[in-house]
Amino acid sequence: MINVFRRWIDRYLSNEEALLLLVLIGVFLLVIGFMGNVLAPFLTAVVVAYLLQGSMQFLKRRGVGHLTATVVVFIMFVGVMLTLLLFILPASWAQLSQFFYELPRMASKGQALLMLLPEQYPDLITTAQVQDWVQQAREELASIGQWALSFSISGITLVMAMLIYCVLVPILVFFLLKDADAILSWCLGFLPRQRSLLNEVWVEMDLQIANYIRGKAVEIVIVGGATYVAFLLLGLNYAALLAIGVGLSVLVPYIGAAVITVPIALVAYMQWGWSNDFFYLMAVYGIIQALDGNVLVPLLFSEVVNLHPVAIIVAVLVFGGLWGFWGVFFAIPLATLLKAVIQSWPGHTGVAPEAGEENNASG
């Protein structure tokens, strides 16, 4: 047993660079785990900087100087941010307030619908079960109301946090765009000169993160915009709020689409009941989701390493449980990081399964 363990160590842990990579990953995870909230503005700025790098490279390839390209792209970013803060966010907040105001009426209508179930399906559902469901729904609505009240009471704190983000994030984004090479060179100065494994993993991850962030941004805009237009044409209430939810749901693969479908179906049913309008809307929404999963995602993420759906869901659950929003957002890049490390690790000979692969049994 000791010899087996020794051979395993010699095979996988004898490379000093591999051990250094393991230490760096551990330090990174500890920093994010203990200081994630403090570093949230910096992480936001890094995401935005990655998102804007494509525009920077586009301008520089056409002969624009680095500083000029930085200023132009930064002005575009500030314009988009002001549009979000001054127009989109207030409209969404107004619809969210109206939605909370309408919740009691929706709950009453839902309760009346549930009370009909024991009459229609007496062998499956009893009146006591329905009463239990209604009581649980009331408790959930009460908790939502308390959350909304506490959220409104802490409005000053929220405003201050938003002001901090609105000041710090643009400043960080500007310097990350302007001095990215200098910052990266300074960080590399702490690493050994011989770092072929680290360089291999870094190049892979830099490509993966850049493609993922830009692809997700484009996907959010396209899916959210198409959903908003469809909901608006069909006359659905809270079209802007639900469209934003659909756009943001693409950040959580598989799970996000399933979760956001519930409020869409609920609002549509409360507005139209089991009518043709309800089924038209759900059909259009289903078409948008199908086009997103089968057309848009393959086009946007063609250069991103494929991961098995099970690996994606597990990554979302694990990293989301550890770091909340940032864990969910970076779940796929972190999963691809683990895959790149495993594939580049000295002594590794296995091949990880990818999405779409089939195991053919030979007789």
Indicate whether 171 belongs to any domain: yes
pLDDT of residue 242: 92
Residues 261 and 155 in one domain: no
Indicate whether 99 belongs to any domain: no
Residues 147 and 77 in one domain: yes
Residues sharing a CB contact under 8 Å with residue 350, sequence separation 6 or more, in sequence order: 342
Residues 118 and 203 in one domain: no
Report the alpha-carbon angle 245-251-256, nearest 5.
60
pLDDT of residue 345: 65
Note the pLDDT tens digit of each residue in 207-217. 777 888 888 88
Residue 116 CB neighbour total at 10 angstroms: 11
Tell the residue number behind the tokens 């079209």, with chain if given: 239
pLDDT of residue 331: 77
Residues 226 and 120 in one domain: no
Residues 161 and 205 in one domain: no
pLDDT of residue 226: 95
Residues 201 and 174 in one domain: no
Q: In this structure, what token pair is assigned to residue 224?
A: 């959210």
Helix axes 155-178, 127-153, angle to 10 degrees: 70
Residues 37 and 173 in one domain: yes
> How far is 145 from 140, CA to CA, in rounded Å?
9
> How far is 202 from 43, CA to CA, in rounded Å?
18
> How far is 81 from 7, CA to CA, in rounded Å?
55
Residues 224 and 314 in one domain: yes
Residues 173 and 241 in one domain: no
Q: Length of the chain, please?
A: 363
Inter-residue contact 238 to 95 (CB < 8 Å) = yes
Closest CA to 240 of 95, 120, 104, 37: 95
pLDDT of residue 352: 47
Domain that holds residue 40: 32-94+114-180
> How far is 316 from 334, CA to CA, in rounded Å?
10
Tens digits of pLDDT across the chain (363 residues): 676 666 666 665 556 677 777 788 788 878 877 777 788 888 888 889 988 988 898 899 999 999 999 999 999 999 998 888 888 888 887 887 787 777 777 777 777 777 777 777 777 777 777 778 777 777 776 666 666 555 554 555 666 677 778 888 899 999 999 998 899 888 888 877 777 777 877 877 787 778 888 888 889 999 999 999 999 999 999 898 899 999 988 888 777 888 899 889 888 988 888 889 999 999 999 999 999 888 888 777 765 556 677 777 788 788 877 777 767 777 777 787 777 677 666 555 444 444 444 344 333
pLDDT of residue 122: 77
Residues 176 and 200 in one domain: no
Residues 257 and 340 in one domain: yes
Indicate whether 361 belongs to any domain: no
Residues 231 and 290 in one domain: yes
Helices in the chain by DSSP H: which ranges?
A: 2-12, 16-35, 40-61, 66-83, 89-115, 117-120, 127-153, 155-178, 180-188, 196-234, 239-249, 255-272, 276-291, 297-300, 309-329, 331-344
